[in-house]
Amino acid sequence: MDNKFFLIDGLLYHRDKHTSALTVVDRDHISLILQDFHDCPYMGHMSGDRTKERVASTAWWPKWEQELGEYINTCERCQKENRNHGKKYGLLHNIEEPKHSSETINMYWVTGLVPGGKENYNSCLSIVDRFRKSMRCLPFHKEVTAMDTALLFSNNIISTCGVPTIIISDRDAKFTSEFWTNLYDMVGTNLAFSTAFHPQTDGLP
């Protein structure tokens, strides 16, 4: 047997000089691997390069890169997203007004505040319900990460008001990062980016 292949406890592994040992996938399970790494809602239909990185660190089979490329090129959702340049809402499109409370919200960070309170908060996450024209401010710290933002939103908004259909935000990195975008894919919410420095999209009169 080629020295790139070896058996451990009855399982066949493959390794070359640049990789760790990877399980060799049989033909019956290749489609499951491709679906799991590309179609899973928790992955958010990652790009070809990102999907390739994940497969390359997990499994191996002959001509896997070619088969992965063909699979992604025939992915209906990815092709649709590519035709729309990856954006479900253009920056110049009108924002449809909601018909129910918590259906559409605006969300943005307010920073540069004077530290105050027991925790010395110096920023807040402002959330506007476009239907009710009401605002809720959640105090936090300026150094907040995308993960902190997602948890703050989940614990204070989703847990009490449910999942909005549309969330409108500016292009703050805390909202456009991979983690935040994947969170929207998981809960079934659309993220619409507003044009920077255009406060008329904040949902308040």
Whether 5-83 and 104-202 share one fold: the answer is no
Taking the C-alpha atoms of residue 65 and residue 69, their distance in angstroms, rounded to an integer, is: 6
Q: Domains of the chain: which residue ranges?
A: 5-83, 104-202
* Residue 138 one-letter amino acid: L
Topology classification of domain 104-202: Nucleotidyltransferase; domain 5 (3.30.420)
At 80, the amino acid letter reads K
**Residues facing 193 on adjacent strands:** 169
Q: Hey, what CATH topology would domain 5-83 get?
A: Endonuclease III; domain 1 (1.10.340)
Q: Which tens digits make up the pLDDT trace of 95-151? A: 677 888 888 888 888 888 888 888 889 999 899 998 888 899 999 888 878 888 888
pTM of the predicted structure, to 2 decimals: 0.47
Query: What is the rounded distance in angstroms from the CA atom of residue 147 to the CA atom of residue 179?
Result: 7
- Distance from C-alpha of 60 to C-alpha of 182, rounded to nearest angstrom: 26
pLDDT tens-place string over residues 135-168:
999 998 888 788 888 888 888 888 888 888 888 8
Closest CA to 180 of 132, 113, 125, 136: 125
Instruction: For 100, list phi and psi in degrees, rounded to 5.
Output: -140, 160
